[in-house]
């Protein structure tokens, strides 16, 4: 059988733009109503739920029209205008792996360190240790890239909304990856660390550009000049600060005015980097057969700064006359060399000239293979030259090439690491990529491999081509103020000088463009409230305020003014970020969360852990104090976001980790009941709500929080009477009310709302089913049913007694705070007073433990504990007191001990009268209820004589809570009805006659006697106590005496302001043993 419109159904599946109201694109439109009928016939079962459970066609339609330009960042979309959204969708992503990921990553990774510090690192650490430094750093980034690829291919990474910023690298991807994988706390902490890293990177690039400008391009542009031989560093730093601030201001203005210009010049900057690197390789090849001429002047074995003289000799011949050279005049100012006023070292040592760039074929590699670390101010020495070891004049230190900082392996790691950062560039541009899930892993890993090979080959080439003292010369003083890497390049040193200058300027602009957008992304997520202002910007979305803050932070880096000091700072922040990328991948992999399905398959949790370990090791290797500062900053941000309550649900891995940890802990708890030493009350607090769903006795929660002090389990339970299907909304509202109250009262716990037809059943369900596994409640806190005497309705006290019976049956402890409204609030303090414990029967030690736990809270801390126990006539009260004191000593509980003797007095007339009144009242109420039930039964009988089931139910439990109120019926009076009314009236009269002639039950009299006597003693001793704890007697086994039980409890606690009735759960909860 062919369904109508069958062809169109095929089209519907192909196009996938289904819409409930719009059937025409997919269905035969010849009959206007046909499309709707088609859906009605096929989806009639689901039509009531279509608004919350849309048709598959609607879902597919939305997915097809979705592009990854929107990045799935719903919170960002909400803030944008409709026009902006249209612009986004109109431009489709078109970049491939090469242009979108590979080249941007290369541009970001290659930077200022390669040109300004790599030669110095090779000379100082030697080729072998330089290989090790490059290997560690590149392994770190490669492992991080593998983890990042897994995260980036696990769904669309919300990164740099490219339509919004014209494809600019925005540094958003890394933040979104971490925050969506590890949650808002980690996301915010790491996002800010990455932001600070990017900002300091901008400062480092600017400092690099200034160093190139003032040292190699235009030294005459310096504003500050050294006033003496030892003032060179201060003048240099001040020059860096002034020019750095000017450069930063200029770059910030460029970024503010037009980001698109930065993006347009990005390819030019990349070309500069590539040409510079190619010129190094070209120069290295040329040096094999034609090394460049850069002579180095050596005095003894010390390297001289060549820019101060022209001829490397002590004397020179002018017009056939030997005269002192410029060098001699520098060491012996204004005097003949034989006069004895020369520098002693200069007198005793010869001046020689060596080749600065011997070339790759010279075999110099074997001399550069080992490390040569120097202390600050130590002069660079050529190991192979003879030297007379005499002290020279200190004022001549500036004539030599000397170390400006102390070096070690760890220092070099910190300085080199920024040259391998920049691996996030691909994920940050994910919005521009045609196929981000394929391009990001391939492009990033290829870029890292390429740059690593370049670094390894450069280390080898520098070691094989350049003389050791030239390598160790950071600023090229020995080769006439030339950039050391430039001396090797071909065709001219200027290729690298100009190329590196433009590439560092470009990298600085990239950082100043990316960092504000990252801050804006964090601000828009609204997880750090005080950053909210930085989410705003110009009308086109440019983050103006964020740019201003970025410029101010970058200025701090520029004021440090030393490239070697700034590099370790940004190393810390980047390492912190990479550490958490690895952690995110490892956590997700180990948890095997259902949503963890990366397209990139070549990852493993062990690789992520290895990457994480390397990151952590590098942090402490390069600078342990910076590492601690970075961790403290990240920790403070984490705790701040946690304290502010980041109510973001991103399906992050930390929630999954918490779930796994909870599951593991719960399974461990299942292994057996807790040892007595570990026993603490895990509370189920049963709350009563009024008609408006407000908590009737909020002080119950206050008491719970004081008893728990944030430890252990607290479940707040309540029962809503009704049908679950109809009362679901009411239950949700009640849950929210209780959660608000929990927050106000600072209770650390969970909320559980149950809907049941009868309150009594609901409470029973709560007592039975709350908690999970070993994490279950062992103590129930129950409010006292106030006003039970005045109420005709027995449900309140019946429910109370049933709950007491339930807790006893479940072997749970029970706490009943009486007069709970008088209990102290959390802000009150008792500076004096007693907590009195009346230990009448041993109930597992609960009475001892509770005051001790209460005294941990600041409200009760200063109260003293007194323990009273009751001695009968045949007890030795003196011995009892000694035994009790010893017991408390072993329990390590400080308390006063008193033994109260109770005389075997006769039952007083008051007791007898009180019992009689209780029984009369009980009998009277029973008669009244029976009369009422009889009337209702007769009315129902008239209404429907055949309703046998209903008739039986009336007899079954007339006092049940939740019993439906009989409907109002218009009755027709009959003779039968009239007779039955007379019978009821007569029986009522007889019942009241019985009440007058009643005699009290002896058992009740005995119980009343106990209650009265105990009450007398307790009130006498504890009338001024802050809190009285006493054993709660159990309810009678025979349910007929339930009402009398309530009366006994009332008599027992009469005249006491605050009472806590305690019933043990049938197990020992306190022990003297360690």
Q: Are 807 and 814 in contact (CB under 8 A)?
A: yes
Specify the range with the lowest mean pLDDT, choosing from 645-649, 702-706, 730-734, 953-957. Answer: 953-957
Torsion of CA 568, 570, 574, 575, to 10 degrees: 20
Q: Is the pLDDT of residue 225 over 60?
A: yes
**606 pLDDT tier (thresholds 50, 70, 90):** very high
pLDDT of residue 630: 85
Q: Determine how β-strand 779-782 pairs with β-strand 683-686.
A: parallel
Q: Is the pLDDT of residue 105 over 60?
A: yes
Q: Are 138 and 130 in contact (CB under 8 A)?
A: no
**34 pLDDT tier (thresholds 50, 70, 90):** very low
Q: Which residues pair with 354 in a beta bridge?
A: 296
DSSP labels, 865-908 = EEEEEEE-TTS-HHHHHHHHHHHHHHHT---EEEEEE---PPPP
Enter the tokens of residue 1065.
């759960």
pLDDT of residue 48: 52
Q: Residue 356 in 3-state DSSP?
A: coil
* Share of residues in the chain with pLDDT > 70 (%): 75
pLDDT of residue 36: 44
The rounded distance, in Å, linking the Cα atoms of 39 and 8 is 13
DSSP labels, 658-687 = HHHHHHHHHHHHTTSPPPGGG----EEEE-
pLDDT of residue 206: 93
Question: Does the model's pTM come out above 0.75?
Answer: no
Looking at residue 756, what DSSP letter applies?
E
Q: Is the pLDDT of residue 884 over 70?
A: yes
Among 700, 676, 672, smallest CA distance to 688 is for: 700
Q: Residue 107 in 3-state DSSP?
A: helix
Among 1034, 1028, 1033, smallest CA distance to 1060 is for: 1028
Q: Is the pLDDT of residue 948 over 50?
A: no
Q: Residue 93 in 3-state DSSP?
A: coil
Read off the pLDDT of residues 40-60 as tens digits, 9 standing for 90 and up: 445 554 555 556 556 555 655
* Share of residues in the chain with pLDDT > 90 (%): 17
**68 pLDDT tier (thresholds 50, 70, 90):** very low
Question: In whole angstroms, how far apart are CA 867 and each of 160, 752, 974, 1064?
Answer: 69, 36, 68, 17
CA 967 to chain centre: 57
pLDDT of residue 242: 93
The rounded distance, in Å, linking the Cα atoms of 176 and 157 is 7
Q: Which residues pair with 900 in a beta bridge?
A: 870
| Mean pLDDT over each residue of the chain, to the nearest integer | 77
Question: In whole angstroms, how far apart are CA 503 and each of 208, 269, 756?
Answer: 10, 5, 72
Please work out, in degrees rounded to the nearest 5, the angle formed at the alpha carbon of residue 666 by the alpha carbons of 660 and 671: 135
Read off the pLDDT of residues 700-709 as tens digits, 9 standing for 90 and up: 888 888 887 6
The rounded distance, in Å, linking the Cα atoms of 943 and 971 is 8
Q: Is the pLDDT of residue 270 over 70?
A: yes
Q: Are 875 and 969 in contact (CB under 8 A)?
A: no
The rounded distance, in Å, linking the Cα atoms of 1067 and 872 is 25
Q: Is the pLDDT of residue 872 over 90?
A: no
Higher pLDDT, 226 or 1031: 1031
Enter the tokens of residue 2.
């062919």
Enter the tokens of residue 513.
């463009």
pLDDT of residue 1: 45
The rounded distance, in Å, linking the Cα atoms of 549 and 529 is 16
Q: Are 384 and 77 in contact (CB under 8 A)?
A: no
């Amino acid at each position: 059988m062919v369904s109508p419109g069958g062809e169109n159904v095929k089209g519907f599946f192909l196009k996938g733009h289904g819409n409930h109201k719009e059937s025409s694109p997919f269905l035969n439109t010849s009959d206007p109503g046909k499309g709707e009928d088609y859906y009605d016939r096929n989806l009639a079962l689901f039509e009531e739920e279509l608004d919350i459970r849309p048709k598959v066609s609607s879902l597919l339609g939305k997915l097809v029209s979705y592009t990854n330009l929107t990045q799935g960042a719903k919170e960002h979309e909400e803030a944008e205008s409709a026009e902006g959204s249209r612009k986004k969708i109109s431009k489709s992503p078109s970049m491939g792996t090469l242009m979108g990921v590979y080249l941007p990553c290369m541009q970001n990774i290659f930077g200022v360190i390669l040109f300004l510090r790599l030669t110095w690192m090779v000379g100082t650490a030697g080729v072998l240790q330089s290989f090790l430094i490059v290997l560690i750093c590149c392994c770190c980034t490669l492992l991080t890239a593998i983890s990042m690829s897994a995260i980036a291919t696990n769904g669309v990474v919300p990164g740099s909304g490219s339509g919004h910023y014209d494809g600019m690298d925005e540094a958003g991807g890394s933040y979104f990856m971490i925050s969506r994988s590890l949650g808002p706390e980690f996301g915010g902490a790491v996002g800010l660390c990455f932001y600070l890293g990017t900002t300091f990177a901008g400062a480092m690039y600017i400092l690099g550009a200034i160093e190139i400008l003032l040292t190699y391009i235009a030294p005459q542009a310096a504003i500050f000049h050294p006033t003496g031989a030892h003032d060179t560093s201060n003048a240099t730093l001040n020059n860096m600060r002034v020019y750095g601030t000017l450069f930063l201001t200029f770059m910030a203005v460029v970024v503010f005015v037009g980001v698109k210009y930065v993006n347009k010049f990005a390819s030019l900057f990349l070309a500069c980097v590539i040409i510079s690197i190619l010129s190094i390789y070209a120069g290295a090849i040329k040096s094999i057969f034609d090394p460049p001429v850069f002579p180095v002047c050596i005095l003894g074995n010390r390297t001289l700064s060549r820019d101060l003289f022209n001829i490397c000799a002590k004397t020179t011949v002018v017009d056939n006359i030997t005269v002192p050279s410029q060098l001699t005049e520098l060491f012996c100012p204004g005097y003949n060399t034989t006069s004895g006023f020369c520098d002693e070292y200069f007198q005793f040592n010869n001046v020689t000239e060596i080749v600065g760039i011997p070339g790759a074929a010279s075999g110099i590699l074997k001399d550069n293979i080992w490390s040569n670390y120097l202390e600050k101010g130590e002069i660079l020495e050529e190991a192979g030259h003879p030297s007379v070891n005499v002290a020279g004049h200190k004022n001549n230190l500036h004539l030599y090439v000397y170390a400006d900082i102390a070096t070690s392996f760890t220092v070099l790691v910190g300085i080199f690491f920024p040259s391998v950062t920049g691996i996030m560039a691909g994920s940050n541009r994910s919005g521009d990529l045609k196929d981000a899930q394929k391009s990001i892993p391939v492009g990033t890993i290829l870029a890292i491999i390429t740059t690593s090979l370049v670094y390894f080959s450069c280390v080898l080439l520098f070691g094989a081509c350049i003389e050791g003292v030239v390598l160790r010369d950071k600023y090229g003083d020995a080769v006439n103020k030339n950039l050391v890497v430039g001396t090797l390049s071909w065709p001219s040193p200027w290729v690298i000088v100009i190329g590196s200058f433009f590439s560092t300027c470009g990298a600085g602009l990239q950082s100043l463009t990316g960092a504000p957008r990252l801050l804006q992304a964090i601000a828009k997520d609204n997880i750090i409230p005080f950053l909210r202002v930085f989410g705003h910007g110009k009308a086109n979305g440019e983050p103006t305020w964020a740019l201003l803050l970025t410029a101010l932070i970058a200025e701090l880096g520029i004021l440090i003014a030393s490239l070697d000091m700034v590099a370790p700072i940004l190393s810390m922040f980047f390492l912190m970020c990479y550490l958490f990328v690895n952690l995110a991948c490892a956590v997700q992999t180990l948890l095997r969360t259902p949503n963890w399905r990366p397209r990139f398959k070549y990852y493993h949790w062990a690789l992520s852990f290895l990457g994480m370990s390397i990151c952590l090791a590098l942090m402490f290797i390069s600078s342990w104090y910076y590492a601690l500062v970075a961790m403290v900053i990240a920790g403070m941000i984490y705790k701040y976001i946690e304290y502010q309550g980041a109510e973001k649900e991103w399906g992050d891995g930390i929630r999954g980790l918490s779930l796994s940890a909870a599951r593991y802990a719960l399974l461990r708890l299942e292994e057996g009941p807790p040892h007595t030493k570990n026993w603490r009350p895990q509370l189920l607090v049963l709350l009563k709500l009024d008609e408006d769903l407000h908590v009737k006795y909020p002080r119950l929660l206050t008491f719970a929080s004081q008893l728990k002090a944030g430890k252990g389990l607290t479940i707040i339970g309540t029962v809503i009477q009704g049908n679950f299907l109809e009362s679901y909304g009411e239950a949700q509202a009640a849950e929210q009310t209780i959660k608000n109250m929990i927050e106000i009262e600072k209770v650390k716990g969970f909320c559980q709302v149950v809907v049941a037809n009868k309150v009594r059943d609901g409470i029973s369900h709560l007592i039975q089913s709350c908690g999970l596994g070993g994490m279950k409640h062992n103590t129930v806190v129950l409010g006292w049913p106030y006003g039970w005497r005045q109420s005709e309705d027995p449900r309140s006290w019946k429910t109370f007694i049933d709950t007491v019976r339930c807790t006893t049956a479940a072997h749970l402890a029970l706490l009943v705070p009486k007069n709970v409204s008088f209990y102290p609030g959390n802000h009150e303090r008792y500076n004096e007073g007693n907590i009195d414990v009346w230990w009448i029967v041993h109930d597992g030690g609960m009475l001892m433990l509770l005051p001790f736990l209460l005294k941990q809270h600041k409200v009760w801390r200063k109260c003293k504990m007194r323990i009273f126990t009751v001695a009968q006539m045949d007890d030795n009260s003196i011995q009892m007191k000694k035994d009790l004191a010893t017991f408390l000593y072993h329990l390590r509980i400080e308390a006063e001990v008193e033994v109260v003797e109770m005389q075997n007095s006769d039952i007083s007339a008051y007791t007898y009268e009180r019992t009689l009144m209780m029984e009369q009242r009980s009998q009277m109420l029973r008669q009244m209820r029976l009369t009422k039930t009889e009337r209702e039964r007769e009315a129902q009988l008239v209404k429907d004589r055949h309703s046998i089931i209903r008739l039986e139910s009336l007899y079954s439990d007339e006092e049940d809570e939740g019993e439906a109120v009989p409907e109002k019926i218009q009755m027709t009076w009959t003779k039968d009805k009239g007779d039955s009314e007379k019978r009821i009236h007569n029986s009522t009269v007889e019942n009241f006659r019985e009440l007058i002639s009643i005699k009290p039950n002896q058992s009740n009299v005995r119980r009343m006697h106990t209650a009265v006597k105990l009450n007398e003693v307790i009130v006498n001793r504890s009338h001024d106590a802050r809190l009285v704890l006493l054993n709660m007697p159990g309810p009678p086994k025979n349910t007929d005496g339930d009402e009398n039980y309530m009366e006994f409890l009332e008599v027992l606690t009469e005249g006491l302001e605050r009472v806590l009735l305690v019933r043990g759960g049938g197990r020992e909860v306190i022990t003297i043993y360690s």
